[in-house]
A and B are shown apart, each in its own frame.
Chain A
Amino acid sequence: MEATATSHVFQKRSTPASRWEKRIFWAFRAATYLILVCGASVFLTIFFKGAGTVFKTEAPFINTTFFTDAPETLYVFEYEGVKYEMGDREFREFKNANPAANSVRASSYAHSAGGIWPCIVGTVMLVVGSMTIALILGVSAAVFLNEYAREGPFIRFVRLAILNLAGVPSIVFGLFGFGMFVIYFGWNVSLLAGWFTLAFMVLPVIITASEESLKSVPKGFREGSLALGATQWQTIRKNVLPYALPGILTSSILGIARVAGETAPIMFTAAYVIRDKLPWEDLKHAGDFFFQGVMALPYHIYVVSSKIPQNEYTERVQYGTAFVFLLIVASIAAASIILRNKLRNRYKW
């Protein structure tokens, strides 16, 4: 303790506790910043590498064919001293126009030309279908567990099952879906099989979060309604579910991100490596719609990143697809958030 002129009882002193305080503070701060660096580097890598594919330097500045075309094989060749890069169809037209070009030796790169329109369509369909199934099943289960069921051994067992379901790795859901829907039900690799597999995967998230938001509706609303002679279902429908809906939607946003992003559950059940037709093309019966496989963004990324020879041309597709994928998930989530906020403003207490 040095005796300076300003020394007093409240004088700042360096004690072991104060030194530790500083170190701990900096450790926590560094950990937080590290997370920021991780997040930023993921997004920036994908943005910068993908931007080259998605955007163009001349008007309209967006590479529209990447969004509207199906994936094609890229041909790279030299013709009369000029180096060309063309997709499959373009190359055939070129050969028709220049018969001499038929003899050029072109090197081909699978999936590296064209766009990802079928993958976008497939992913959106998988998300919409599986979330519909998951919300119907999940919200019903949550209403039953929270509003009707009385605690007992059976309900505890149900909760345990939900908890366990949440811990199952996604590849196991994929295998289950393959065994159950694709083989046993005979649905083959199809939208329907993918929907149910993905729905089962997000069910625990939806149930748990829906139950939480049902719990957050004040008990007084239920009692007040019942005391006016409402049945339990009338009470739930008019005076509980509408107020719980914003919370349920919040949980489904998390669900959407998972459903859209998982590759493992759909790789055996719903996803095709390549499919020329869009899901609504050439349907014999309307029912056939449900029994066709689709292309999907995450599976496409997996295919172009690991199933075809890697070179400077495939990288464009990989990062371009990842960029669009992030964009789509973000916009679905944004739409749900806007909807949720609208509902939230309608009911406040």
Chain B
Amino acid sequence: MVIEPIMETSPSSTPTQADDKKNGGETTPAPVGRTLIDIDHVDFFYGENQALFDIDLKLEEKKVTAFIGPSGCGKSTLLRCLNRMNDLIDGTKVKNGQIKIRGIDIYSPEVDVIELRKRVGMVFQKSNPFPKSIYENITYGLRLQGQNDKSYLDEVVEKSLRGAALWDEVKDRLHTSGLGLSGGQQQRLCIARAIAVEPDIILMDEPCSALDPISTSKVEELIHELKNQFTIVIVTHNMQQAARCSDKTAFFYLGKLIEFADTQTIFMNPANAQTEAYVSGRFG
């Protein structure tokens, strides 16, 4: 099953099965609140251990959604459910509930997980450029799809590196190893690699946790840029980061979704006492 790309389509022509599922409960209504990812009362298990309890969330298109919460609260687990990365771990299972992307249940048996992952890119906590050249890193995904046209690949490499704000730093050494870059550059290379295959959604699992403050701010600026094109879900331990770069924030605690609202609301005026305690640094 192929999920049709939605990036190029204008809002008016986008399929509208989720049009009315605008997330309610906030003071300021979001301008283009089209639900792209619909997490519908999901329970998730690692073997016998339940990691997520009845998560119900609707993530909007071309927005940055941040998942925050203390370690072990299930935010990374939920993120990795969205491109079925958890399939790689033995004994994991989504019991009850569905995760729908554009209305399609991604855990249904007829979904091709390879197609899903082409549409839902991922950037990992630890930057993991492959021990190949920068050029090979970025073209990796396209080459897998059988794309070998050199001029097209060149074009994508430049576009992706510009998109990841890395072009000016590496344009003279595209054919040197990606591992020769600094930590922050490596992480941006991984972002460039992810956007090269033109996904709809980019999942970021604590992308800045191993970076210095300057690299972190570069990646954050980049996230701002990217949300014009992509829907971004970011897991972070850093609450300032969530506050700076996300539109919406979800707070998790012990596998449960405690509160989900506009970032402003979460940080300035949370409805839940636990959320307030966490964002003000009193626990977690």
Contacts and interface: CB of A to CB of B under 8 A. Distances in A.
A347 B124 contact: no
A273 B194 CA distance: 63
Given A228-B140, A234-B144, A349-B131, 11 more contacts: A220-B126, A222-B88, A225-B130, A226-B85, A226-B117, A227-B122, A228-B193, A238-B144, A239-B130, A239-B140, A348-B131
A228 B124 contact: no
B121 A227 contact: yes
Interface string A222-254: 111111111100100011000100000000000
Nearest to A152: B90
B34 interface: no
A223 B117 contact: no
Contacts of B88: 222-223, 226
Bin the interface of chain A by size: 20 to 34
Nearest to B136: A238
12 contacts: A220-B124, A220-B128, A222-B88, A223-B85, A223-B122, A224-B193, A228-B117, A229-B114, A230-B144, A231-B114, A239-B140, A243-B131
A218 interface: yes
A224 B115 CA distance: 15
A231 B130 CA distance: 16
Contacts of B275: none
B84 to A, nearest CB: 9
A239 B132 CA distance: 9
A150 interface: yes
B179 interface: yes
B117 A224 contact: no
Given A150-B90, A234-B144, A349-B179, A229 B128 contact: no
Interface of B: 83, 85, 88, 90, 114-115, 117-118, 121-122, 124, 126, 128-131, 140-141, 144-145, 177, 179, 190, 193-194, 197
A290 interface: no
Given A218-B128, A220-B128, A243-B131, A228 B121 contact: yes
A218 B121 CA distance: 19
Contact of B197 (A220, A226, A229, A238): A229
Given A223-B85, A224-B190, A229 B117 contact: yes
Contacts of B121: 227-228
A150 B87 CA distance: 12
A221 interface: yes
Given A227-B117, A229-B141, A229-B144, A151 B90 contact: yes
Contacts of A225: 130, 140
A231 B114 CA distance: 6
Nearest to B190: A224
Interface in A319-349: 347-349
> Top 7 closest A-B pairs, CB basis?
A220-B128, A229-B118, A228-B141, A227-B122, A224-B128, A229-B117, A347-B131
